[in-house]
Amino acid sequence: MDRLRTHKAIFLLLLPALAACSIGDVRRPPPDRSSASARPTPSAPAPSRAVGFDEVRHVRVAVDRRYDRPFVEFVDADHGFALFATCDGMPPDRGCTALLFATVDGGRSWQELRHPRPVAENQQLYTAPGALVLLAEPYGWYTSTDGGASFVHTTGGEPTALVAARGRFQVVEGAGAVAAWDGAALRPLPAQPAVPGLNTVGHSGDLVVAAGARDGRPAAAVSRDAGRHWVSTPLPWRGDEVGVLRAVIAPDGGAWLVGERPDRMGFPALWRLVDGQEWALVRAVGHPAQARSVAPLGAELVAVTSPDGVGVVAGGRYYRVDWPLTGEHYLTVLGDGTILARGPDDVVVGTGWTANRRWVRVVLAEG
């Protein structure tokens, strides 16, 4: 009965948002500057239809038109940073240096910051709550914990702020082990989960979920005491191959598994942890064949972008929603529950809860 009430509440919550919509033509997505393995471009086009935003924040900054579009990253709904890192498709030089900007009002205004190493072969920007991290190869890392007013230079491995931002529990790259961050280093746990192909962990409080896939088969284990003991948790599975299995914690603390297909394009398998005990395979009747991004939103809802548009998985079905996003937008959920949708020409910030959002389009342009 409780589960029936939950599903009824979810459906009533979705009623204002569930509607058919179409999207613009699908073009090549922007390069993913934070990962070397960007998802392949979906090939199927869709008809155009204009969908309005609640607000558009189009701001011009004092940047020469030689600069390419910036990489924009938000920490939460208000705080973000932008890096102009290429000029005419090439790395900046002394006549066209990397430029750094910050916003504290959700993109309404932007202030230029001093970039600590404006000329480098490769420029990257990473953000985390309370930290801004720049990579300027081959010179190393520059970390700020005061909003970009000052930076600390380090070389070698990733700086402490960036490692800490990944959370208390992490998978040690190359070691296939779960480690705990103690404030200074990652230390492998004495007890390890029996997960073939372990590649990801997620945690909420003392609940830790470890997941992986090997030879197309997904596997997971759960710890309810902060990694001291692990229980292998069988996954209901239909036999479709899983290339990468990701553990994702929704804003409400719910644990999910997202089973990406080997081609990174097919619609993924989804599981939800029920009562902290067992995994339920989540159906999505009517879902599109492909998916670009998948983001659990809380309240048993999952947002999806695909070549067919934007949709939400709820109550075992896939519903198209009339959000002002396209299949080109890649969805992530920030620490405060804000949806960040990154497209080739903009960043869209969705504030609110579950499927009810206020959508703000942020465009930072040369001028």
At 36-92, the pLDDT tens digits run 333 333 333 333 344 589 999 999 999 998 999 999 999 999 999 999 999 888 887
Mapping DSSP to helix (H, G, I), strand (E, B) and coil, where does residue 56 land? strand
Mean pLDDT value of segment 166-195: 93
Is residue 120 within 8 Å of residue 133, measured between CB atoms?
Answer: no
Whole-number mean pLDDT of the chain? 87
In the prediction, which pLDDT does 91 show? 81
Task: Identify the pLDDT of residue 3.
Answer: 43
Phi–psi pair at 8, nearest 5 degrees: -65, -40
Q: What integer is the mean pLDDT of 291-298?
A: 96
Q: At 345, is the pLDDT very low, low, confident or very high (cuts 50, 70, 90)?
A: confident
Pairwise pLDDT comparison (10 vs 126), residue with the higher score: 126
Q: What is the pLDDT of residue 51?
A: 59
Question: Which residues contact residue 2 at a Cβ distance below 8 angstroms, ignoring those fewer than 6 apart?
Answer: none
CA angle 173, 175, 176 (to 5 degrees): 85
Q: What is the pTM assigned to this prediction?
A: 0.83
Of residues 63 and 5, more confidently modeled: 63
Nearest residue to 46 via CA among 16, 21, 80: 21
SS3 for 5?
helix
